[in-house]
Amino acid sequence: NYAGARAHFQQWCNAERVHLTQGASVPEPILCAYAAAMAGVCAGGTARSRLAGLHFWHDRQGLAWKGSPRLLRILKAVTSATPSSSRREERPPVTEAMLDEALKKLDPKRPFDVCVAAAMLVAFWSQLRLGEVLSATRHYDFDALPTRRGLRLRADAGGALDRVTSALWLPRTKVERSGVWIWIARHYNDPSYALQDHIGVNRIALDDPLFAYRHDTSGELIALTRGAFLGRLNEIWSACGMQRFTGHSFRIGGTTALLRAGVDPEVVKMAGRWKSDSFLRYWRAIDQII
């Protein structure tokens, strides 16, 4: 995204015939003019992201950033002038009823479906971003994604006798670049039992990707990708007349389900690793929560 921001700024400079001194900071009036040019064109968040990309580029080059209170006021005005076409509709949450429907349709004897079921329940109840546990491609990044070695199942799901809650080590997340433990609580469609079943069916060794499955015929172990995961679930939900869902719908859905269950918002915030109150805008079904 930051590389794209730099490219967009360069395109704007070319179009406006703005000539910048090589190796020097972008002057404050130029930054303000660039920000103002986005008013009525894109969302305020997009404008802020592009300016953040430019700021990052200045840091990389060892240059002083010429941002100012005036630039912040302009960005605020750009947000107010966001065109309706740039406003994204609220993404719907995955619901507990959808989990139940998927579990009915996923084949418990097919390794791929067993893997999808385990990933679905863990992502939902742990309020995960899919990119924290599933690879975008079949090339698995072991420095960023979990392996079975980082899983600690609770006692009744096959773990150590003193474990009352399952836990999973995420080597890297969007915020915690050096890794973090997440806790997997007990629920009626229990993620811990789904993980236990998945590990047995797919014969996941300690150093294997946590979410991987055995090929139906060759037995080869294949990392579950986000595309394959969402494709399988959307196939099930679309057949039931539901709309298609994105990866972030699991994080939103898990947050909403915990709030509806009466879990204290501060506990939800800690469990979801929210660093601020930004998670409040992801609440859905607020009428039922109230």
Sign of CA dihedral 205, 210, 212, 214: positive
pLDDT digits (tens), the chain, 290 positions: 778 889 999 999 999 999 999 889 999 999 999 999 999 988 888 999 999 999 999 999 999 999 999 999 999 999 999 887 666 666 678 889 999 999 999 999 999 999 999 999 999 999 999 999 999 988 999 999 999 999 999 998 888 888 889 999 999 988 788 899 999 999 999 999 999 999 999 999 999 999 999 999 999 999 999 999 999 999 999 998 887 777 778 888 898 888 888 888 888 888 888 776 666 666 655 666 66
Identify the architecture of domain 96-141+184-288 in CATH. Orthogonal Bundle (1.10)
Cβ 39 vs Cβ 75: under 8 Å:
no
Using a cut of 0.85, tell me whether the model's pTM lies above it: no
CA dihedral 266, 271, 273, 275 (to 10 degrees): 0
Q: How far apart are CA 247 and CA 36, in angstroms?
A: 33
As a whole number of Å, the CA-based R_g of the chain is 23
Quick one: how far is CA 240 from the chain centroid?
25
- Map residue 223 onto helix, strand or coil: strand
Domain ranges in the chain are 2-86, 96-141+184-288
Cβ 3 vs Cβ 57: under 8 Å:
no
